[in-house]
Amino acid sequence: MPGGLLHSGACRRQQVGSDCMTHGFRYHRMLDRDQLARVLDTRMLSFAMTCALVVLLLVFYTVTMVNMGAISSRIDEINAHPYPVTVAAGEVETNLVQLRTLSDRLVYVRTPEAVDAVEDEYASIDRAIADPLATIASQCRSSPEKAGALSADYETLKAEQRRLIDTCRDPATTDAEVQRTVSEQVDPLIGAMLARNSEIIGSSHQSFDALFELAVKACAETALYATVLMAGVLAVLAVFLVTLRRRNAERDRLQKNLEAALETARHASQAKSQFLASVSHDIRTPCSAIVGLTEIAERHVGEKDRVEECLSKITLSSHHLISLINDVLEMSKIESGRFMLNDESFSLEELVSLVDVIAQQQARTKQLVFHMEADDVSGVYVRGDSLRLRQVLLNLIGNAVKYTEPGGEVRLRVRLERPGCVSPDRAPCTDESLMLGESRGTDFPETPCGGEGACGCALYRFEIEDNGIGMAPEFVGRIFEPFERERSDETRSIEGTGLGMSITKSIVDQMGGAIAVKSERHHGTTFTVDLPLCLERADAAKPLPADDVVPTLPRRVDFSGVRVLVAEDDEINAEIACDIVGRTHAEVVWAHDGAEAVETVLGAPDGWFDLVFMYVEMPNMDGLEASRTLRDACRREGRPQLVIVAMTANAYVEDRRRAFDAGMDDYLVKPFGFADVCDVMDLRLPARSESDGRHAANESAEPAFSLV
């Protein structure tokens, strides 16, 4: 939401106000005076109070009858359930104990006579225990599921006893096997049955107590509901009288709330206008440069040097415009709560070295000297978001370079302010107080450092110092607010969105750190960032993705013999894409939409095209649907699967996920350049010799479509 890029007060006013602007007048119509009078009409209120009294009486009568019925049924149950079940459970317990003794006897004596005697006693006990188990199964009301389980367990026990008898009669059986069978199969079953039988006895004994408790509860509930009934009658009468008196007051309160909401909406509209004015100015500045320089180049088309100068400035303005859009999107993500930090292990030494390389390049471009002073970070591995930490440092260094005159100096210092300890086998740090940054100043919580195995959280300080033009004291206090830029003669020519410092502070806050700034006009500026970082083992770290930050030349730029289809509905974008791909010496075909792209690929010989650059949003058939159609058709017809690369202006993670789910292999975000296309083609297309047989076979065949 655009208003979300303003300070928090403006954000809240805009959010509340937008809702009120949408629903305010409809809400006002719904709660006008006539409707309020109708809702609070005396006759309607009287009817509602009468219904409430009837409901209370019905509830009281229902509860009383239910309680009496429960007591009566419980008395009937006691006559048929507790006593016989208790007696039967006692007999079952006696028999189970005898069964356990018989099983243990076989461990020590396994003569044929002893085994036969045990088997006879098993049969005798089985006849004796059958009736008690049947009684429990049929009459146990308190725990019928346990009674059923007890009978099922006994059937299992009988099977185990038969198996034990057979095992004992086998001459090859050892004493250890008999002992293991008894201890692992028979005795645990008997123990479980004894425990379940005890629970049945206990539940039967509890029936009388339950009856008493039920009677006491029924009396208490009856008294309670009688009291509630009387209180309800009095409350209904009181509500009736009070509501009549508060009718006008309620109507006035609603009216005032509506007026306050409309006032908030007006303030939000002003905040939105302020945001649009700021963004409009920042967008129009590079756009005006692009339009004006284009006109100049058109008027001086015969002057090569003048045209090249205009094109160079157009490129710079375009990059500035893209930077503005990226900053706005980044700030919008932060304000909307969709900004997330990665949790990964990385080498602090690699990160510092990478920042040093990039900063040296930036400084040399403006004829500055960059120095880096760092404590010994060799072999130091930490846990956090390396990409965001690098973004913070490069934002601050880039800001220092921007506001320092040629010949000046920029310096980065990395210091360990508070050490932490880590043992070779330490698990990832979980010191939440340090990781979450409970303190937003420099007074961070003490880092435990008790030797080996102590918490591995350490406090690092990053200082970025320059001897540039500095800032006025009144601007230092608001430098971290969105769209804030110092307006002076010295800074008028310096381009910027006014969002970089706000984004930087938001990232530092999310990482649990603190950022501060000191500046003096004409004496330079120093930014100080304190971050708690958790130390990690070296084997847990991953190498930094340097290619994401340091631009490198594509490894291969000549793709002669490769055939590429560009599917793009916009003629200008199609011309740009075809020109970029054509510079790789590949043959290029242009399709105007997804349907034409599918028809072109399927109408060509098998394997004719190597790669398709597919724009996602197109008429007739979009790129996602075209990609799915091509994948299905190639599988169905046995064609080789070609490479499909998405081209889109949507850069969110969910957009990438949709493209990959549709069967696309890679993803190019507009605007992209020659190096981006070469990198994708080099990655996705295998190296091919000039005598590649597949394309040589089709060399004489003319395609049934025009090449761009």
The yes-or-no verdict on residue 118 having pLDDT over 50 is yes
Handedness of CA 551, 557, 562, 564 (dihedral sign): positive
The yes-or-no verdict on residue 650 having pLDDT over 70 is yes
Report pLDDT for 107: 76
Q: In the structure, what pLDDT confidence band is assigned to residue 314 with cuts at 50, 70 and 90? A: confident
Per DSSP, helices labelled H in 520-652 are 571-582, 594-603, 623-637
Share of the chain above pLDDT 90, in %: 21
Q: In the structure, what pLDDT confidence band is assigned to residue 274 with cuts at 50, 70 and 90? A: low
The yes-or-no verdict on residue 324 having pLDDT over 60 is yes
E strand intervals along 4-150: none
The yes-or-no verdict on residue 546 having pLDDT over 70 is no
What does the alpha-carbon distance between residue 579 and residue 587 come to, in Å, rounded to a whole number? Answer: 11
Q: Do residues 121 and 105 lie in contact, with contact meaning Cβ atoms separated by under 8 Å?
A: no
What does the alpha-carbon distance between residue 565 and residue 640 come to, in Å, rounded to a whole number? Answer: 16
For the ranges 101-105, 271-275, 433-437, the lowest mean pLDDT is seen at 433-437
For residue 419, give the nearest of 380, 378, 374, 388 by alpha carbon: 380
The yes-or-no verdict on residue 356 having pLDDT over 80 is yes
What does the alpha-carbon distance between residue 129 and residue 154 come to, in Å, rounded to a whole number? Answer: 10
Burial, 61: exposed, middle or buried (Cβ in 10 Å; 0-12, 13-18, 19+)?
A: exposed
Handedness of CA 210, 212, 214, 216 (dihedral sign): negative
SS3 459: strand
The yes-or-no verdict on residue 524 having pLDDT over 80 is yes
Q: Do residues 550 and 362 lie in contact, with contact meaning Cβ atoms separated by under 8 Å?
A: no
Fold that domain 344-548 belongs to in CATH = Heat Shock Protein 90 (3.30.565)
Q: How many CB atoms lie within 10 A of CB 94?
A: 13
Cβ-proximal residues to 362 (8 Å cutoff; 6+ apart), any chain: 370, 397, 398, 401
Report pLDDT for 633: 93
Report pLDDT for 409: 93
Beta bridge partners of 464: 412, 527
The yes-or-no verdict on residue 542 having pLDDT over 60 is no
Report pLDDT for 181: 78
Report pLDDT for 454: 40
Residue 513 φ then ψ, to 5°: -110, -165
**Choice between 452 and 156, residue whose per-residue pLDDT is larger:** 156
Q: Do residues 500 and 395 lie in contact, with contact meaning Cβ atoms separated by under 8 Å?
A: yes
Report pLDDT for 293: 85
Q: Do residues 12 and 19 lie in contact, with contact meaning Cβ atoms separated by under 8 Å?
A: no
For the entire predicted model, the pTM comes to 0.47
The yes-or-no verdict on residue 369 having pLDDT over 70 is yes
User: What average pLDDT does this structure show over 318-335?
Assistant: 72
Q: In the structure, what pLDDT confidence band is assigned to residue 527 with cuts at 50, 70 and 90? A: very high
Report pLDDT for 163: 82
The yes-or-no verdict on residue 490 having pLDDT over 80 is no
**Choice between 450 and 382, residue whose per-residue pLDDT is larger:** 382
The yes-or-no verdict on residue 2 having pLDDT over 70 is no
End-to-end distance of the chain based on CA atoms, in angstroms? 42
SS3 402: helix
Cβ-proximal residues to 531 (8 Å cutoff; 6+ apart), any chain: 384, 389, 459, 460, 461, 462, 508, 511, 512, 513
For the ranges 208-217, 361-370, 611-620, the lowest mean pLDDT is seen at 208-217
Angstrom distances, CA of residue 276 to CA of 283, 479, 499, 651: 10, 20, 14, 23
Q: How many CA atoms lie within 13 A of 86 on its CB side?
A: 13
Report pLDDT for 78: 60
**Choice between 593 and 21, residue whose per-residue pLDDT is larger:** 593
Which of 215-224, 246-255, 640-649 shows the highest mean pLDDT? 640-649
Share of the chain above pLDDT 70, in %: 72
Report pLDDT for 689: 40
Query: Which run of H or of E encompasses 53?
Result: helix 42-80
Report pLDDT for 623: 94
SS3 493: coil
Handedness of CA 262, 268, 274, 276 (dihedral sign): negative
Report pLDDT for 42: 60
User: What average pLDDT does this structure show over 580-596?
Assistant: 94
Domain ranges of the chain: 80-209, 344-548, 563-697
Burial, 499: exposed, middle or buried (Cβ in 10 Å; 0-12, 13-18, 19+)?
A: buried
What does the alpha-carbon distance between residue 328 and residue 339 come to, in Å, rounded to a whole number? Answer: 13
The yes-or-no verdict on residue 602 having pLDDT over 50 is yes
User: What average pLDDT does this structure show over 485-501?
Assistant: 64
Architecture of domain 80-209: Up-down Bundle (1.20)
Q: In the structure, what pLDDT confidence band is assigned to residue 488 with cuts at 50, 70 and 90? A: low
What does the pLDDT look like over 46-70, one tens digit per residue?
A: 677 778 777 877 877 787 777 777 7
DSSP state of 25: H
Query: Which run of H or of E encompasses 697?
Result: helix 693-697
Report pLDDT for 99: 79
CA 421 from chain centre, in angstroms, equals 31
Q: What is the CA radius of gyration of the chain?
A: 41
Report pLDDT for 73: 66
Report pLDDT for 373: 92
The yes-or-no verdict on residue 694 having pLDDT over 60 is no
What does the alpha-carbon distance between residue 98 and residue 539 come to, in Å, rounded to a whole number? Answer: 62
What does the pLDDT look like over 185-223, one tens digit per residue?
A: 878 888 888 888 777 777 766 666 666 676 677 777 777
The yes-or-no verdict on residue 455 having pLDDT over 90 is no
> Can you say whether residue 237 is alpha, beta or left, with left for phi > 0 and alpha for psi between -120 and 50 degrees?
alpha
Q: How many CB atoms lie within 10 A of CB 9?
A: 10
Tell me if the domain spanning 563-697 has CATH number 3.40.50.2300: yes
What does the alpha-carbon distance between residue 363 and residue 316 come to, in Å, rounded to a whole number? Answer: 18
